[in-house]
Amino acid sequence: MTDVMVVDDEIGMRAALEASFRSHGWRVQTASGKNEALTVFRSAPCPLVVTDMRMPDGDGLGVMQGIRAMAPETAFIFLTAYGSVPEAVNAMKEGACDYLIKPVSFPVLKETAERILQRTPEDVSHSKEEGLIGHSPRFRSLLERARQIAKTEVDVLIEAESGTGKEKLAHFIHQASSRCNGPFVAVNCAAFPEALLESELFGHVRGAFTGALASKAGKFEMAQGGTLLLDEIGEMPLNLQPKLLRVIQEREVDRLGDTRPIHLNIRVIATTNRSLRDLVREGAFRADLYYRLNVIPLTLPPLRERQEDIPELAEYFLRHYAPPALRGSLRLAPELLARLKQHDWPGNVRELENAIRRALALSRGPVLGIEALEEIDPAPSPHGVARTAPVLEAGLTLHELERQLVERTLAAVDGNRTRAAEMLGISLRTIRNKIREYGLGPRRTG
């Protein structure tokens, strides 16, 4: 049996919720306001409190603050009228677990309460990181390993497919470390031309090159006392890798045009959506840099390998993106959840997030059904390749075959280069080069 306290000054609402909880096997305590709630809780603590937001002798936030002073781990669900949604949002910022709009559907309330009570304290802390949500054994094991790593000072390499939440895992490690009060600085190694990337990372002094009108600190300096994230390290130009290796090994950086080294007190986390080991074999990545980064490797599993987490993630995105007036009244139909679990999710958590946002935009009632996700193929190919195959004819050159494949893949993703690169299993830099080589026109999106 599970214990819950219901706090509401309306006797009818209080009695109805008490009866509903008891009919489902819960042990229930009730209180008519803030003062009574604190008195009852002091004599009989419980893990969950369901409280009204506005009451004559104090608001729900006061109830939470008083009870949390006695039992910090107690979970709270606020029941609020539409007019006091801003107050409920402020309560969420203070640490409330959820809020529901009156009139409250008891099945929704019960489901919310059960979901909250299933979380461990560690889950509560990491669930605030969007995309780092789930209870599957593999995912929980990964987060526990990341939490242990965070207590050390070692550098970390995160290898995972795009859309799995690599940057969020890096931020999680930063937040769980002794460096959490320092800066978290991220730089995407694929986002800058080679000449600009060197200056972006290492900084420069005035006059170091044409256009350097003032000195500028690089990302390494900006991360002093904190964490530097080298996102998509596999896209690092080969001729910059020796300098990067020296900076990471020596924890010293020289600004371009300067000879005075700057000592660094940072942790480095690198992420990649490609296998660095394979890149080393291909000669596209230095072996010594790979082994220096690969002190403690972490691998985020793709969403298709933790399907049991899909309902929780979907519910999270539903609550996150639902309009305040509808929050608590919307739900996902069972057949929709079944469809979501059938999908292969080549875009991983990011694709699921966008699917739920699309479903919300297209839904016409409180229940989101499969009709809102007609664009999702329930059984896509294992590697997410474009479904429209090139025309295979005798005598067709490999050059033309490749051009057709790149062109049709770009068309399938509405010109999104990042998505096309993922589907084709190549780097963003490579897809850019192919577009120029084949004259496939200007970028549309992505």
pLDDT tens-digit profile of 248-283?
Answer: 999 998 887 777 888 999 999 999 998 999 999 999
Give yes or no for a contact between 260 and 233, defined as CB atoms under 8 angstroms apart.
Answer: no
The two structure tokens encoding residue 262: 């700057």
Please say if the pLDDT value at position 377 is more than 90: no
Consecutive H or E run containing 292 = helix 287-293
- Of residues 401 and 68, more confidence is placed in 68
* Closest to 169 (Cα-Cα) out of 289, 248, 93, 270: 270
Same domain? For 274 and 167 the reply is yes
Q: Do you find a cis peptide bond into 121, omega within 30 degrees of 0?
A: no
CA–CA dist 279, 234 (Å, integer): 8
Does residue 147 sit in the same domain as residue 102?
no
**Percent of the chain at pLDDT above 70?**
83
Residue 404: which domain range?
A: 385-446
46, 28 in Cβ contact below 8 A?
no
What 3-state class would DSSP assign to 281? helix
* 141, 286: one domain: yes
> Which pLDDT score is estimated for 130?
41
CATH number at 322 reads 1.10.8.60
pLDDT of 101: 77
Q: What is the pLDDT of residue 107?
A: 87
Which residues lie closer than 8 Å to 106 by C-beta, 6 or more apart?
17, 20
The pLDDT value given to residue 408: 79
- pLDDT score of 218 more than 70: yes
Could you tell me the CATH number of the domain that includes residue 265? Answer: 3.40.50.300
**Residue 415 shares a structural domain with residue 275:** no
Residue 183 forms part of a structural domain: yes
pLDDT beyond 60 at 62: yes
* Predicted local confidence at residue 386, as pLDDT: 36
The answer to whether residue 443 scores a pLDDT higher than 50 is no
What value does the mean pLDDT of the chain take? 81
Q: What distance, in Å, lies between the first and last C-alpha atoms of the chain?
A: 51
The alpha carbon of residue 439 and the mean position of all alpha carbons in its chain are separated, in whole angstroms, by: 35
Of 363, 318, 329, the C-alpha closest to 100 is 329
Q: Which is higher by pLDDT, 212 or 343?
A: 343
The count of structural domains within the chain is 4
Q: Give the residue ranges of DSSP H helices in 363-416.
A: 398-412
Distance of alpha carbon 260 from alpha carbon 233, whole angstroms? 26
Kindly state the DSSP code that residue 256 receives in the 8-state scheme.
B
As a whole number, mean pLDDT of residues 312-325 equals 82
Burial of 108 (0-12, 13-18, 19+ CB in 10 A): middle
- For residue 106, give the CATH number of its domain: 3.40.50.2300
